[in-house]
A and B are shown apart, each in its own frame.
Chain A
Amino acid sequence: MRLWRHLQFALSSAWQSFWRNAGVSLAAVLSITLILVMAGVNLLVGHAMNDVLQLLRARVSVISITVADGTPLQTVYDFQEQLRADPRVAEVQFLTKDQVLAHFQSDPTNARIVQQIEGNPLSAKLEVRVRDLADVAAVDALARQWRGADPSDPTDYQGDFINRMLALSSWLSWAGLALLAILVVISVVIVMNTIRTAVYHRRQEIEVMKLVGATEWFVRGPFVLEGVLTGVVAAGVALGLLVVSYRPFVERFRTDLFFVPLTYDPKFVGQLAQDLLLGGALLGALGSYIGVRRFVRI
Chain B
Amino acid sequence: MVLTPDFESRPLISLQHVWKRYPPETIALRDVSLNIPEGDFMFLVGPSGAGKSTVVRLLIREERPTKGKIFVDGAELGRMKRRQLPYYRRKIGLVFQDFKLLPSLTVYENVAFALRVMGDPGRVIRPKTEDALDTVGLADQRDKYPRELSGGEQQRVAIARALVHAPRVIVADEPTGNLDPATAWEIMQLFLRINARGATVVMATHNREIVDLLRRRVVAIEAGRVVRDDRSGRYHEALAASSVRA
User: Could you tell me which A residues sit within 8 Å of B by CB distance?
Assistant: 1-3, 5-6, 9, 204-205, 207-216, 218, 297-298
Complex Cα distance, B133 from A166, in Å, reads: 76
In this assembly, does B182 line the interface, its C-beta being within 8 Å of a C-beta of chain A? Answer: no
Binary CB contact string for chain B from 83 to 117 against chain A (1 if under 8 A, 0 otherwise): 10111111000100000111110000000011011
- B209 to chain A: closest CB distance in Å? 28
Number of B residues whose C-beta is below 8 Å from A?
Answer: 24
**B23 interface residue, CB < 8 Å from A?**
no
Chain B contacts for A3, CB-based, 8 A: 119
Are A6 and B119 also in contact (CB < 8 A) when A211-B60, A212-B89 are?
A: yes
**Secondary structure of the A side of the interface?**
helix
**Smallest CB separation, A296 vs chain B (Å):** 11
| Interface pair B117/A214, CB less than 8 Å apart | yes
Q: Which residues of B line the A interface, CB within 8 A?
A: 60, 82-83, 85-90, 94, 100-104, 113-114, 116-121, 161
Residue among B60, B82, B83, B86 with the highest chain A CB neighbour number at 10 A: B86
When chains A and B are docked, how far (Å) is the Cα of A207 from the Cα of B113? Answer: 13
C-alpha gap A207/B114 in the complex (Å): 12
Choose among B90, B100, B104, B121 the residue that contacts A213 (Cβ–Cβ < 8 A).
B90
The interface residues of chain B lying within 8 Å CB-to-CB of A2 are: 119
A298 contacts B113, C-beta separation under 8 Å: no
7 A-B pairs within 8 Å (CB atoms) are namely A205-B104, A211-B94, A212-B161, A213-B89, A215-B86, A216-B83, A216-B86
CB < 8 Å neighbour of A212 from B82, B113, B119? B113
Inter-subunit contact A213/B118 (CB<8 Å) = yes
* Contacts A212-B114, A216-B83; A204 near B90 (Cβ below 8 A): no
**Which residues of chain A have C-beta atoms less than 8 A from B117's C-beta?**
209, 212-214, 218
Cβ–Cβ < 8 Å partners of A216 in chain B: 82-83, 86
- Among the listed A9, A204, A215, A297, which residue makes an inter-chain contact with B102, where contact means beta carbons less than 8 Å apart? A204
Alpha-carbon separation in the docked complex, A209 to B117 (Å): 7
Q: How far is the CA of A210 from the CA of B114 in the complex (A)?
A: 10
User: Which residues of chain B have C-beta atoms less than 8 A from A207's C-beta?
Assistant: 100
- Measured between beta carbons, the chain A residues less than 8 angstroms from B86 are 210, 213-216, 218, 298
Q: Which A residues touch B161, using CB under 8 A? A: 212
Are A208 and B100 in contact, with the CB atoms below 8 A? yes
Query: Contact between A211 and B100 (Cβ–Cβ < 8 Å)?
Result: yes
When distances are taken between beta carbons in the complex, the residues of chain B under 8 Å from A205 are: 102, 104
State how many angstroms separate the Cβ of A198 from the closest Cβ of chain B: 14
**In whole Å, how far is A292's beta carbon from the nearest beta carbon of chain B?**
16
Q: Do A213 and B119 touch across chains, with their CB atoms under 8 A apart?
A: no
Rounded to whole angstroms, the CA-CA distance of A31 and B190 in the bound complex is 53
Looking at the assembled complex, report how far the CB atom of B137 sits from the nearest CB atom of chain A, in whole angstroms: 21
CA distance A214 to B119 in the complex (A): 9
Distance between Cα atoms of A91 and B227 in the complex (Å): 99
Q: For residue B103, which residues in chain A have a CB less than 8 angstroms away from its CB?
A: 204
| B94 → chain A closest CB, angstroms | 5
Q: Are A298 and B85 in contact (CB under 8 A)?
A: yes
Knowing that A209-B113, A297-B82 touch, tell me 18 more A-B residue pairs with CB under 8 angstroms: A2-B119, A5-B116, A6-B119, A207-B100, A210-B89, A211-B89, A211-B100, A212-B90, A212-B114, A213-B86, A213-B89, A213-B118, A214-B86, A215-B83, A218-B86, A218-B117, A298-B82, A298-B85
List the A side residues contacting B104 at CB < 8 Å. Answer: 205
Q: Give the CA-CA distance A153 to B132 in the complex, in Å.
A: 99
Q: Give chain B residues whose Cβ lies under 8 Å from the Cβ of A6.
A: 119
- Chain B residue nearest to A297 (CB atoms) is B82
A223 to B66, CA, bound (A): 34
CB distance from A281 to the nearest CB of B (A): 25
Closest chain B residue to A9, Cβ basis: B116
Most chain-A CB neighbours within 10 Å: which of B88, B119, B121?
B119
Q: With both chains docked as a complex, state the minimum distance between the C-beta of B169 and any C-beta of chain A, in angstroms.
A: 13
Closest B residue, CB atoms, query A298: B85
**Bound complex: CA of A213 vs CA of B90, how far in Å?**
5
